[in-house]
Structure 1
Amino acid sequence: MFRPLSLFIGLRYTRAKRRNHFISFISMTSMIGLALGVLAMIVVLSVMNGFQQEMSSRILGMVPHATVSAGQPLQDWRAVAAKALGNPAVVAAAPFSELEGMLSYKGTMQPVQINGVDPAEEPKVSIIARHMVQGRLEDLRAGEFGVVIGEITARRFRLNVGDKLALIIPELSGVPGGITPRMQRLNVVGVFKVGAELDGSLALIHVADAGQLQRLQPGQVQSVRLALQDLYQAPEVAATIAAVLGADYRANDWTHTQGSLFSAMKMEKTMIGLLLLLIVAVAAFNIIATLIMVVADKGADIAILRTLGATPRQIMGVFMVQGTVIGAVGTLVGAVLGVVAALNVSALVAWVEKASGQQVLSSDVYFINNLPSDLQALDVLLICSAAFILSFLATLYPSWRAAKIQPADALRYE
């Protein structure tokens, strides 16, 4: 079967046993180093994807994907919700109010964001009901001024269900200074834990009680909270809904409140990926040293091929094929091992914890107690492509050197 001369000889050199065992060792080291670099990149990026997915599902499951409000309090939030649900990107809507204040308990204070919610509608747009560790969301009843606080807040104040604390809200007034604090006693009816910073900065009360604190009329709410099918389309969807509702309406979305966090996470993934790519680059450019030594070892063979009519381009192709095969095999082995490791990293960490008796990720310290992994085909493709391209580039200089060898110089001392 016909094969190009460069491909035939290059593959033959790759399979052949070399007289110089040190060259074989360096070649194998380059291949193993490349495989380990690809393996490390796939596993680390998969774990980072897993953490980002956990953060997205927990934080963005608690904060509104988007809200729609008007210049005045909404008289009929259900009518606004019905129009919003007419957009196919919206999956649920619920009444929503928010205000900021200070929680006070036995002389200890902390800032807090208070969300006014309807216990019957909130599970449609939030994951809060699935993360209650004490009490129930349904225990929030209009007029009773119950509050559901985060686990960090409960631990800081040493609160349990049934305890009472004070909410201090700033209010504009005509007195000198312009602001007068208002106080409202709240009853703790539940504690939630989502494993994020929201456990120490968020509290929930009934939307009717929030309306009283905001001095709204009965039945009025501040805004309508929306849950979207694709939360990353929130800015476009929210703006579209506000435009449909009319000029008096405005939209807000999660990118205004949490966008910086997820931008930082994306930047962190990019920088760690670039740093890990240096490992692949070091392994790939070891191919340069391997091929330079192979060229020196095969000087006589190159000279003979030149005298038989091989062109410099064909000689260059021989060693490019050999180096590319080394890179391709290392990349393929690393990709297979990386995919297997990424798919089983959670089970592996659990086995290490069981064998060592030590917990790698404690829920008391971190917001999760397992190591998440989210293997993405695009990441694997980019990593393998980068490793293969670096391996190919590493073959150019040694191959060019081989093509420049003159037969008379190579055979002078043979």
Structure 2
Amino acid sequence: MNNEVQSTQIKKTMLAAAVATALVAGNVQAANWLMLQGTEPANSAERAKVWGFVQAEYQQTDDTLLPSGKKAAFNQLAPDLSTSSGFNIKRARIGVRGANLPLDSKVNYFLLAEFGNNGITTGGNAGPGQVSDASITLNHIPGARIRVGQFKTPGVEESLQAAPVFNYVNFTTMTDRIINERQFTSSTGNTGRNGSNSSFRDIGVQVFDAFDVKGYELSYALMYGNGNGLNRSDNNKFKDLYTYVSLEKYFSDDKGPRAKSFKVFAWNQDGKRTLSDLGDKNRTRSGLGTTFFNGKFRAAAEYITADGMIYGGSSGGGLPSDGATFSVQADEKANGYYLDLGYRVIPKLELKVRYDTLNSGTEVATNERKFTTTTIGGQYFINKKTTLLVDYEMREASAPNLASTHAANKILDTMDNRIAIQLGVVF
């Protein structure tokens, strides 16, 4: 336990030191995920730019049944869990962004609504037309831009990366289960979520900026938020603290969504959640990672740890329609990582492979579940704003500390591989 506490203190100290360094470095106007989604170009932003994107998908599994003869939740398609194969409008977002012209070009805004069928528009009273992003950024203080509202929290690379340029149809199991938070009322017995997935967003205030440090771009973000999901007020007196720092070397002048660069980053999220049966529980997430892209080769890797509020899935792997309920392991821990490689065979075609693993429920041996997925596929860039993704996911899950004949392993043995195809366009 002392080693764990010391490790956490070291991580926080490193992040604080990096942020302090950032505050005394020289300011630049480079685009990265923090800057790209939180600010507008200085002196060239439009008053109101309407934009959006649509992603239509087809996914399929073999619909292997549980040992009980009932359908397995993990072989059905999210978010409805009503079929093992089918078409879906995964994302359909439209919004407006710009600067507060002609009054003040240093005031930026970002508004986006979701009309697709996903975790934002399902759960609780959610539905089509949910606001996913609504923020105002003040750029008046050198080295300390201030963003207020609902927006992506600084954290895992998969979450910060803009959806239209994400390299896969589905997130890694690690990111989906321990970062993309599901809101439940109690630790057990939940028939469904009480609201939208977090979709990696929160409501709060963030101080951030990017700086030039001897040819490298140093970025930082400090956010203070509710930690209670989208489009609603907080449900307790506690707030979440988010910390992020990155160092990036660009290989060209292009600093957009597919910039050629090498980046290392670290982040931490810390807060509390309130459950009706257990009261207030800690929730902490931390990560370290790197990305690389030189125009032909692409690589990324990230390691994440989680302490508290671990998503437990459905009881027996079943569906709510068959009587299964969802749980949260309030005092458990988890860890995982992914390795991602891509190669541009020709400028318009990338072949790719990704390996990700999640060790969930590691504190109690009988709770532990291990998920591994190897994804192979490709993406074809029809044009600068239209992309076709084709993925084949080889999925495995097990309870490593239980006998192979145990009911838990018999259930997890029924997890299918998955085909995922997506066509996306930005407008």
TM-score by length of 2: 0.20
Q: Tell which has more relative contact order, 1 or 2 (C-alpha 8 A, sep 6+).
A: 1
TM-score by length of 1: 0.21
Higher helix share: 1
